Structure 1
Amino acid sequence: MCHSVKVLTKNVNGELAYCENCRKFQLTFNNLYMEFNDEELLNFETYLTNINVDYWDCQYENSTRKRIIPIHTMQKNLSLVFSKQEFDALQELVCLKNKEPQDSLTVLDIDYTLLLN
């Protein structure tokens, strides 16, 4: 277990941390956990920035699917899919756009449909 972990950036969906002992970046995003070395993180950041979100919006504009932006993996039968908001949050973490870790949520951060029955 890593004890020298420093959180680099954090948002509602997860965080990107760095372990000084094992020299790995640890990305936790919703129910995903990934580890990267320096080169792998840079490659993943490049991959994310090259995904054409507008293309996927057009492809599924009439779809009822919430998650339409795929990230393909090396395993042919496995792709990770994200909503536009999730994808933006993932990019924010990986590209280190949010330098200050957020400690608390605001009302706008909660994605929940309230039904008054």
Structure 2
Amino acid sequence: MMCPNIQVLNTTTNGAIYWFKNCEMAQVIFKNLCFDFYLEEYDAFLKYLSSLDGDSIEKKYENSIHRRKIPIRMGKSCLTILLNKEELLELQFLFSGQDRLFILNNPTVQIEYQIGLN
């Protein structure tokens, strides 16, 4: 997005939220995802995200075939992102605007090694 007058709203190890004042848009980068929100979309997603309870959602989908058990629907599109509880907490923290460091509860979740045998 090319828009001057950028403000960093919050950052974590895996993400950042930028506010583009002249465009009145937010850009959310989290892991390998990037979302652009107009103000009303940003507010709606913030409200939705803050209402999610990772423990209850993981329990609801405990028999899912997916490793990540928390589905986050992205508006009216067909896109759903899947998160684990730690990722949800980090994304909620990112949107909270709190001015402190986000500490992973389980740092090993962040490190995912895939071993390929030759």
Q: Does the alignment reach a TM-score above 0.5?
A: yes
RMSD of aligned residue pairs (Cα, Å): 2.7
Residue type at the aligned position of 1:33: C
Q: CA deviation at 1:9?
A: 0.6
Q: 1:68 touches 1:83 (CA, 8 Å); kept in 2?
A: yes
What is the match of residue 56 of structure 2? 55
Instruction: Provide the C-alpha distance between the structure 1 equivalents of 2:8 and 2:17, rounded to a whole number of angstroms.
Output: 6
SS at match of 2:16: strand
Q: 2:3 touches 2:20 (CA, 8 Å); kept in 1?
A: yes
Residue type at the aligned position of 1:53: G
Instruction: Provide the C-alpha distance between the structure 2 equivalents of 1:60 and 1:87, rounded to a whole number of angstroms.
Output: 15
Q: Deviations over 1:46-89 (max 9, x none)?
A: 101222322222134466743110012323x4311111111111
1:1-117 counterparts in 2 under 5 A? 1-61=2-62, 65-73=66-74, 74-75=76-77, 77-97=78-98, 99-100=99-100, 108=107, 110-113=110-113
Residue type at the aligned position of 2:111: D
Q: Which shows bigger deviation, 37-46 or 5-14?
A: 37-46
Q: Which has the higher contact order (CA 8 A, sep 6+)?
A: 1
Count matched residues: 109
User: Between the two proteins, what is the percent identity of the paired residues?
Assistant: 31
For structure 1, list consecutive stretches of 5 or more residues without a partner in the other structure.
Answer: 103-107
In the superposition, the TM-score normalised over structure 1's length comes to 0.74
Instruction: Provide the C-alpha distance between the structure 1 equivalents of 2:66 and 2:114, rounded to a whole number of angstroms.
Output: 20
Instruction: Provide the C-alpha distance between the structure 1 equivalents of 2:34 and 2:22, rounded to a whole number of angstroms.
Output: 18
